[in-house]
Chains A and B, each alone.
Chain A
Amino acid sequence: MRLTLAIFLLVTSAFSQSRTVPLDFVPIIDGRSYSSETDAKTVSVCKFYVSDIVLFSNGKRVFESDKSYFLIDFSEPASLHRTLAIPDGCHFDKIRFTLGIDAATNENGVGDGDLDPVRGMYWAWQSGYINMKLEGAINGKTFEYHLGGFQQPFLSCRAVEISSANDAILIKVDPMRFLKKVPTEITHVMSPGKTAMQLSDLAVNMFYR
């Protein structure tokens, strides 16, 4: 009996192909947990795309997601908790993702699910995805940063790399780490161009472990 059981387990484990890794984004404001009740004035909107996820082990690529696109939204708790199905036995220590949507996906037009323009992350007047929307007010001054653009030379999606534990990926997102670096005279960015590029470079600072 025990032998049968052992053989059974051996055989089934040989067929188990993937494990699910939780991928969680944690809204932070100035180093502490973001609360929509108290912090909505400072950051009223924080929405961004996470795409093209790659996992590394010792600098080597060990997994690539097949074009998964996640729209992360501070105001939608369900959007913060995602999962990745990766091969069993695949170990990693670092995650890289694209903040925003790459040029090829933009060229293809509009997509489904999180890519549906109904989600409010698609520019109608000059077609293309908005990589990140950040709105709020600091010291009484309102800001609206809608960062996008996919046509050269103003491609503004950016790669973000974070080290990670092997069993779960936890990424903290603190808009203040970005806002602190933005020149004070730039309060509104709503179209592709040099300023969107400049701010997109700074936006990667939002993410840490």
Chain B
Amino acid sequence: MRILIGIIVLLLLASGFMAPADDVYFSIPDKWPKPAYDFTQNPLKAETIQLGRALFYDPTLSSDGQISCASCHSQYTAFAHVDHKLSHGVQSLIGNRNAPALFNLAWQKSFMWDGAVHNLDALALAPMTSPVEMNENLPNIVDKLSASHRYRQAFAKAYGDSAITGTRTLKAISQFLVTLISCNSKYDKVTRGETGIRFSDNELHGYDLFKQNCAACHAEPLFTNGEFENNGIGTDSILKDPGRVKISLRKRDSLRFKVPSLRNVEVTYPYMHDGRFANLQMVLFHYTEAIGHDKTLSKPLKKKIVLSENDKRDLISFLKTLTDETFLRDKRFSYPVEFFSR
């Protein structure tokens, strides 16, 4: 009996000494690399994250008050614009690229399909000022926010004084964006060895096929190598998108686009920079039957990929294990009802 009490006391003491979660808002998942984002330039603070979250969901940032970031980046589909090849902004104007999913952004070294944005703090400026997206400009946005008592209060809580500047607005949005971490899919639970969670035989086989055929570019644990690659899909005849070369001005970057992360790929259709593939079956058909061998084709794709129909089915089963339900439903990232109801 005394031994039992002793053990219980020890356990209680031990639980008292267990460290709380590293950081409620941002922590590096086990065995992941260090983030690229420089937090010293923008230290996380609860009030600033909440301000950024409000800004993310607020259509006042657009010229007609209709389009918010969330209009094309919807949480339920990993902050992508599901079922839209290209997104539409103000006045239903169409953009020229598929809206990427937003998660694990602190690990990205560049942003946009062609890496046009080099720092997360500058990211929101692009959709904000694009005439076919939100069609606004930063001085107007600052004016709109400054006229709002609710925002003046929120900026004061975040920054100590109610001065609303372009930089503070952008950095608050960054703070919210870096908290969007997706690392709790079935794949993650299996990798962490959580009890009771195992791949099915199909999924395990799919994982093997993935490692053989896809991991050169879609490397674990981020499921992207963060580089610009040409995967042989060729240019769309109407959009004529040249890819990374437009930014780097280097010929070898012609038709190269950023390797997207495959996390949550099940819910972020359609696929590719112009959303041309409606489903994963079409993607796999491309990789096995239809790769165009132009000059800048990525090296790992030069050798033919052979997958039977069963192989493809298993590979897709594996890709579905990358869906992170907790991320898709995490209330911390959803529309901040409390903020807007004040």
Using a CB–CB cutoff of 8 Å, the interface residues on chain A facing chain B are: 106-112, 115-120, 122, 124-128, 151, 154, 192-193
Also in contact, A117 and B170, with CB within 8 A (given A108-B41, A125-B126): yes
With an 8 A cutoff between CB atoms, is B129 at the interface?
yes
Q: Nearest residue in B to A117 (C-beta to C-beta)?
A: B166
Instruction: List chain B residues, Cβ under 8 A from A128.
Output: 118, 122
Q: Is the CB of B129 within 8 A of A116?
A: no
Count class of interface residues, chain B: 20 to 34
Q: Is the CB of A107 within 8 A of B128?
A: no
Q: Is the CB of B41 within 8 A of A116?
A: no
Complex Cα gap A115–B125 (Å): 14
Also in contact, A117 and B138, with CB within 8 A (given A110-B121, A124-B125, A128-B118): yes
Q: Which of A106, A110, A117, A125 contacts B116 (CB 8 A)?
A: A125
Q: Nearest residue in A to B121 (C-beta to C-beta)?
A: A109
Complex Cα gap A39–B42 (Å): 42
Chain B window 123-149, contacts with chain A (Cβ cutoff 8 Å), 1 for yes, 0 for no: 101101110000000110010000000
Q: Is the CB of B119 within 8 A of A127?
A: yes
Using a CB–CB cutoff of 8 Å, the interface residues on chain B facing chain A are: 38, 41-42, 116-123, 125-126, 128-130, 138-139, 142, 165-167, 170-171, 247-249
Instruction: List chain B residues, Cβ under 8 A from A117.
Output: 122, 125, 138, 166-167, 170
Q: Is the CB of A108 within 8 A of B38?
A: yes
Instruction: List chain B residues, Cβ under 8 A from A192.
Output: 249
With both chains docked as a complex, state the minimum distance between the C-beta of A118 and any C-beta of chain B, in angstroms.
3
Complex Cα gap A106–B118 (Å): 9
Also in contact, A109 and B165, with CB within 8 A (given A124-B126, A125-B130): no
Q: Is the CB of A109 within 8 A of B41?
A: yes
Instruction: List chain A residues, Cβ under 8 A from B247.
Output: 126
Instruction: List chain A residues, Cβ under 8 A from B170.
Output: 110, 117
Q: Which of B122, B130, B139, B142 contacts A109 (CB 8 A)?
A: B122
Instruction: Identify the interface centre among B128, B130, B248, B249: most chain A CB within 10 Å of its CB.
Output: B249
Q: Is the CB of B116 within 8 A of A126?
A: yes
Complex Cα gap A192–B248 (Å): 9
Pairs across A and B, CB under 8 Å, 26 listed: A107-B119, A109-B38, A109-B122, A110-B167, A110-B170, A110-B171, A117-B122, A117-B125, A117-B167, A118-B139, A118-B142, A118-B166, A122-B122, A122-B125, A124-B122, A124-B128, A124-B129, A125-B116, A125-B126, A125-B130, A126-B117, A127-B118, A127-B122, A127-B123, A128-B122, A192-B249
Complex Cα gap A122–B138 (Å): 10
Complex Cα gap A126–B126 (Å): 8
Instruction: List chain A residues, Cβ under 8 A from B130.
Output: 124-125
Instruction: List chain A residues, Cβ under 8 A from B139.
Output: 118, 120
Q: Is the CB of A154 within 8 A of B166?
A: no
Complex Cα gap A128–B116 (Å): 10
Instruction: List chain A residues, Cβ under 8 A from B123.
Output: 127
With both chains docked as a complex, state the minimum distance between the C-beta of B137 and any C-beta of chain A, in angstroms.
8
With both chains docked as a complex, state the minimum distance between the C-beta of B241 and any C-beta of chain A, in angstroms.
14
Q: Nearest residue in A to B137 (C-beta to C-beta)?
A: A120
Q: Nearest residue in A to B170 (C-beta to C-beta)?
A: A110
